[in-house]
Amino acid sequence: KNLEEERKQALKFKELEKTVKQCKASILKKNIDEKTKKIDEVSKEVGKNTSYKDKLKEEISKVNKETLALELRTNEINQYIQKTTGFERESLNDEITELNVRVASERARQENFEKRLSENQFRKSSLNQNLKELESEVENLKRESPKISKRQSLLKEKKAELDKIEAEREQLFNARTEINSIKERVREKTKYLEKVSSESKLIFGQISRMSEELSSKSIDEAESEIKKIESKLQQLEAILDSNNNKKIEFGSKISVILSIIDRNNKVKESIPKKDICPICQTKLTESHKLHVITGAESKIKESQAQRLSLQSKIDEINSKNLEIKDSLKSLEDTLKRRNNELGVLRNIEDKKEIMKKLVEDEKQIKQEIEKLDQKQNFLSNKANHKDSIEEKYNKLFFEMQELSSRTDDNLDTTILYKEREIESVRNVLKSIDKDEIEIKSELGRMSEQISLDEKELEKKEADLEELSEKFQKLFDERTQIQEKIKDKNILLVNKQNALGRIDEIINNLRIDIARVSAEKESLDYEIKEFHGVEIIQGSVQFLQERMKKAEQTLATIGSVNMRALETYDAIKKEYEEIYKKVEQLEKERDQILAVIAEIDNKKKKTFMKTFKAINELFTRNFSQLSTKGRAFLEIENPENMFEGGINIAIKVAKGKYLDITSLSGGEKTLVALSLIFAIQEFNPYAFYILDEIDAALDKRNSELLANLLKKYIKTGQYIIISHNDSIISGADILYGVSMNNGISKTLSLEVKEV
């Protein structure tokens, strides 16, 4: 009884201590959960702000790219206006003026040629009329003077030669005309060549000036430099992010250290006022107090050193971050310059394409001029034969005059005069025809040239108008782009300010996470003392009140025999071991009984199966051996079959049974044999020995038994001792046994041989 009381007292003390620990652990757990929740909430806020920050960065990058593209476009417009406006407009105005003058001159010449053609046609008509009259007069005169016919024939021959030379003279004249046309075309081509060459030189000068200001010599080189700068920017930003993460990590460690310092300071301050050690929960002595205070001071000193080391690392990171930010600013400026250079290089490539086309045009024009010069030289060489042709022409002409002058009378003179007049008219007509051909050719060329010049003039005027519209559009586009750049810069400043604010918010949140994490780590460190202690549900206030009551109750309890728990537990343990053994034995007994029941059940099933099969065979066999009735087996105790035996019943009529004891000896033998053969058929053996089983049978029953034996002999070996002829006649082999002088002898006989 005393042990029970002491145990209860010890249990109460232990329960109160447990309650205090549970309350402390629960309060710490709640504080830890609260800190964890706070960390999760702040982390989510950091994640949310970080996503917003990344979005802002993407938007700032996009705005920077858009602004850069707009600035590049503005530079392109300014350069284009500056480099090309004056030259193109002046060139177009000069060309338009020149074309207007040329068209006006060509039109005046065209009118003169048309007027001249009209006059020639009128004159030709009049001369043709005169020619007809003169030819008629000459024909009349020739009829009057036959001598003239011979001279006329000779004159015709000379005239044919003269016509041939005249054709050559005409070819020379046409050659001179074509030479003049070629010279004019050469002058035009040369002038256009000078213009193309001037444009090429101008563009080459622009390319040279633009190239002098560039650090990159090609677009690929500029793009490669831009990629390198962007890669460096990414590396520096990654280093900056890594440094910031380290700062946060060091800040978190500093917060933990400050928490440790604060906790040890509290321990130092509270130790002199306490009787129980807050660390090991034992009673405090002076030496113990000194040990705890010394340990706390040592931890404070160590923590201060760690804090200073971490703060030094943070200062070092801040210094590196300033250098990285300066490098980032420098790289961003360089990137902007490289992007501008890339735009200039692309502009240079465009100008190179223009220059390439101009060079190709210049080459083509030179080839055309060379071909025209070759043709001109050929025609000039041909025209150099003019003097010899003129000499031949004059010689023939004088010969014709001499022939014509060979006449003595007035008639010949009149005919000669008329023929000369005809020849003169014909020459004039030829000259008019030639002049008409030249005029028409020149008019055709002039019409074609005027048409080309007018088309060129329309094109140049359209180009001038387009150029004016283009530059006006460029001015408008530049104004719009400048407005867009202004808006983009305002937007960029706003987004950068927002990014700065977000960075500040994220840093503050990360500081909060570090502070709360430090507080949580401190709580985690404290709760390790209560590992495995059950957590109690309830508010912090409820837990504090419950802990206070438990501590007060503990203070009122006197001395407690805690060994009573060990003694009680030892006795209880011994009891429980014995109790377990009893339970084990009962369990094993139940298992054995279950096995026995299962075996009995199987035995019963097997027995009933065998019983039914043998009963059916027994009934059948008896029916074959006896007509007395129907024989079958009965279980003496159906409820508990293994408690009783088996009876044989003979049913002779409806509802009438015979007791086996009332049967004769032969009938009993038949019943017994029916049962034996039923058992043999159900579970056959290798062989059977039957000793005079037919001793009590009459002849009829012996025959029935012999028939039954024949059936079973087929499925087994039977040795039968018998004196019955019916049985013997059914055997395969007969063995006879006799005794002579006390010695048994056997004689075997195959029945088939008998």
Asked if the structure places residue 280 within a domain, the reply is no
Three-state SS across 35-90?
Answer: HHHHHHHHHHHHHHHHHHHHHHHHHHHHHHHHHHHHHHHHHHHHHHHHHHHHHHHH
**Per-residue tokens: 383:** 């025209």
Tens digits of residue pLDDT in 253-269: 777 777 778 777 877 77
Asked if the structure places residue 434 within a domain, the reply is yes
Asked if the structure places residue 739 within a domain, the reply is yes
Are 678 and 716 members of one domain?
A: no
Among 683, 704, 735, residue at a domain's last position: 683
Q: What is the pLDDT of residue 624?
A: 82
Does residue 411 register a pLDDT over 60? no
Is the pTM for the entire model greater than 0.75? Answer: no
Q: What is the pLDDT of residue 481?
A: 80
The mean predicted confidence, pLDDT, of the chain is 74
Q: Which DSSP string do the residues of 405-469 spell out, in sequence order?
A: H---SHHHHHHHHHHHHHHHHHHHHHHHHHHHHHHHHHHHHHHHHHHHHHHHHHHHHHHHHHHHH
Asked if the structure places residue 45 within a domain, the reply is yes
Q: What is the pLDDT of residue 603?
A: 84
CA atoms within a 13 Å half-sphere pointing along the CA-CB vector of 485:
15
Asked if the structure places residue 18 within a domain, the reply is no
Among 652, 683, 714, residue at a domain's last position: 683
Amino acid at 467: L
Q: Please state the rounded mean pLDDT for residues 136-150.
A: 60
Asked if the structure places residue 522 within a domain, the reply is yes
Are 668 and 717 members of one domain?
A: no
Are 86 and 208 members of one domain?
A: yes
Are 629 and 510 members of one domain?
A: no
Does residue 706 register a pLDDT over 80? yes
Are 499 and 602 members of one domain?
A: no
Are 708 and 662 members of one domain?
A: no
Distance, CA of 525 to CA of 550 (rounded, Å): 24
Asked if the structure places residue 235 within a domain, the reply is no
Q: How many domains does the chain have?
A: 3
DSSP state for residue 282 in the 8-state scheme: S
Residue 35: which pLDDT band, with cuts at 50, 70 and 90? Answer: confident
Distance, CA of 437 to CA of 18 (rounded, Å): 136
Lowest mean pLDDT among 362-371, 391-400, 725-734: 391-400
Tens digits of residue pLDDT in 474-507: 777 778 887 887 787 788 778 777 877 887 787 7
CATH number at residue 707: 3.40.50.300
Q: SS3 of 748, please?
A: strand
Asked if the structure places residue 628 within a domain, the reply is yes
Q: Are 179 and 379 in contact, with CB atoms under 8 Å apart?
A: yes
Domain with 603, as residue range(s), is 595-683
Are 354 and 488 members of one domain?
A: yes
Does residue 591 register a pLDDT over 80? yes
Among 527, 542, 557, residue at a domain's last position: 527
Does residue 753 register a pLDDT over 50? no
Are 346 and 475 members of one domain?
A: yes
**Per-residue tokens: 330:** 């420098």
Are 738 and 671 members of one domain?
A: no
Does residue 512 register a pLDDT over 80? no
Are 656 and 692 members of one domain?
A: no
Are 667 and 718 members of one domain?
A: no
Q: What is the pLDDT of residue 408?
A: 43
Q: What is the pLDDT of residue 350?
A: 67
Of 497 and 567, the one with more pLDDT? 497
Q: What is the pLDDT of residue 409?
A: 46
Tens digits of residue pLDDT in 635-686: 888 888 778 888 888 877 666 777 777 777 887 888 888 888 888 878 877 7
Residue 1: which pLDDT band, with cuts at 50, 70 and 90? Answer: very low
Q: What is the pLDDT of residue 754?
A: 44
Lowest mean pLDDT among 98-102, 706-710, 740-744: 98-102
Of 7 and 649, the one with more pLDDT? 649
Are 92 and 206 members of one domain?
A: yes
Q: In sequence order, what are the beta bridge partners of 399?
A: none
Q: In sequence order, what are the beta bridge partners of 744?
A: 739
Q: Are 67 and 488 in contact, with CB atoms under 8 Å apart?
A: yes
**Per-residue tokens: 292:** 């705890």
Q: Are 733 and 717 in contact, with CB atoms under 8 Å apart?
A: no
Which residues lie closer than 8 Å to 203 by C-beta, 6 or more apart?
A: 351, 354, 355, 358
The candidate with the shortest Cα–Cα distance to 554, out of 21, 54, 134, is 21
